[in-house]
Amino acid sequence: MSEAIDISALVRKNILEMKPYSSARDEYSGSASVYLDANENPFNTPLNRYPDPGQQTLKRKIGFLKGQKMENIFLGNGSDEGIDILFRVLCEPGRDNVITVDPSYGMYGVCAEINGVERRSILLKSNFSLDPDAVLEAVDEHTKLIFLCSPNNPTSNSLDREAMLKIIDGVSCMVVVDEAYIDFSKGAGLLPILDEKKNLVVLQTLSKAWGLAGIRLGMLFAHPELIAYLSAVKYPYNINSLSIEAAMEGLMETGQQRDWIREILDERDRMIKELESLDIVRMVHPSDANFLLIQVDNPSEVYQFLLNKGIIVRDRSRVPLCEGSLRITIGSKEENRALISALKTKQS
């Protein structure tokens, strides 16, 4: 169905008709020697200058690393900005709907509520696999977005590629595949086929494998036509100079990133064995990410016990399909060791 996708037909009427704010740096983006166009302070260089609203340098770098053209990239204040701006550009409050496949990342639902958009929740199967037909059945002519998260948070598994493709090829709305954890995954994800799927949106982030959650830098990859609408709606200077600089520096360190990932994955495999050997752990779900979902007998009690020892994990036991479960991030060797020793004292 990819060829039949009409992106402008999915965009809200007010967005189609709006005239974007034009900043001083939008109107002149070349390089001059005297800048008297933006009412900046001439002192305190370099932070006295507004950042590039088009983030050209950073997009070039990310495009090179990811094998994508700059026109396919939107950068946001975390992936969360990408998620919210999709709602604001595509979903008419009170009329349109989105579909989430749960349990999954909470921001999809929060953004739906904030934007006054109906959310249709489809459950994963009990083994956490995706049921594409159940998703397709929930789609109607007002469905604008379908959110798939792979590897999925909090279940830690990747969704089946063919099942995701069945959904993408079976609808005329946008399908967002959140790949926040893709660098920890065995699979390559869907970014390599972005050019073939006009209704595919891929979200990635510098918050996890790149170790840069503090700078808030999310990457959204999509068809250039959608990127143009998102760019017209975003705050002009949504990525600040310090974040751009830290991202440029961080992205140079590809060797270090590989080492971190390898170390985290080694620790994850070691932690799976350690956790499985504890009596209070009923099961550790297979993980394709940098965290584990484990089942214990008394999740709230274990959570509180760890908290009293200064160790914070995530209690997911009230989430559908995750009854009895805690979500545990893979930390440093020392942090992981502290968790295991604490759990051992709980056991005895």
Binding residues for ligand PLP, rule: CB under 6 A, are 78-80, 105, 149, 153, 178, 180, 205, 207-208, 213, 218
Which of 179, 158, 185 shows the shortest CA–CA distance to 290?
185
Closest CB to ligand PLP: residue number: 78
Tokens matching residue 207:
């918050």
Nearer to ligand PLP, 199 or 205 (CB): 205
Rounded to whole angstroms, how far apart are CA atoms 227 and 304?
A: 44
Give the nearest distance from C-beta 35 to ligand PLP in angstroms. Answer: 32
Give the nearest distance from C-beta 294 to ligand PLP in angstroms. Answer: 17
Nearer to ligand PLP, 246 or 278 (CB): 246
Nearer to ligand PLP, 68 or 205 (CB): 205
Which of 325, 334, 335 shows the shortest CA–CA distance to 284?
325
Give the nearest distance from C-beta 126 to ligand PLP in angstroms. Answer: 21
Give the nearest distance from C-beta 217 to ligand PLP in angstroms. Answer: 7
Give the nearest distance from C-beta 18 to ligand PLP in angstroms. Answer: 25
Nearer to ligand PLP, 321 or 340 (CB): 321
Which of 35, 155, 178 shows the shortest CA–CA distance to 103?
155
Nearer to ligand PLP, 172 or 240 (CB): 240
Which of 141, 163, 144, 137 shows the shortest CA–CA distance to 152?
163
Rounded to whole angstroms, how far apart are CA atoms 109 and 245?
A: 32
Tokens matching residue 119:
């959310």
Which of 348, 346, 342 shows the shortest CA–CA distance to 301?
346
Give the nearest distance from C-beta 130 to ligand PLP in angstroms. Answer: 15
Rounded to whole angstroms, how far apart are CA atoms 293 and 243?
A: 31
Nearer to ligand PLP, 231 or 243 (CB): 243
Rounded to whole angstroms, how far apart are CA atoms 104 and 208?
A: 17
Q: Are 106 and 246 in contact (CB under 8 A)?
A: no
Tokens matching residue 225:
């036509």
Give the nearest distance from C-beta 149 to ligand PLP in angstroms. Answer: 5
Nearer to ligand PLP, 150 or 231 (CB): 150
Give the nearest distance from C-beta 298 to ligand PLP in angstroms. Answer: 26
Rounded to whole angstroms, how far apart are CA atoms 135 and 307?
A: 38
Nearer to ligand PLP, 7 or 99 (CB): 99
Which of 243, 251, 287, 247 shows the shortest CA–CA distance to 269?
287
Rounded to whole angstroms, how far apart are CA atoms 58 and 69?
A: 12
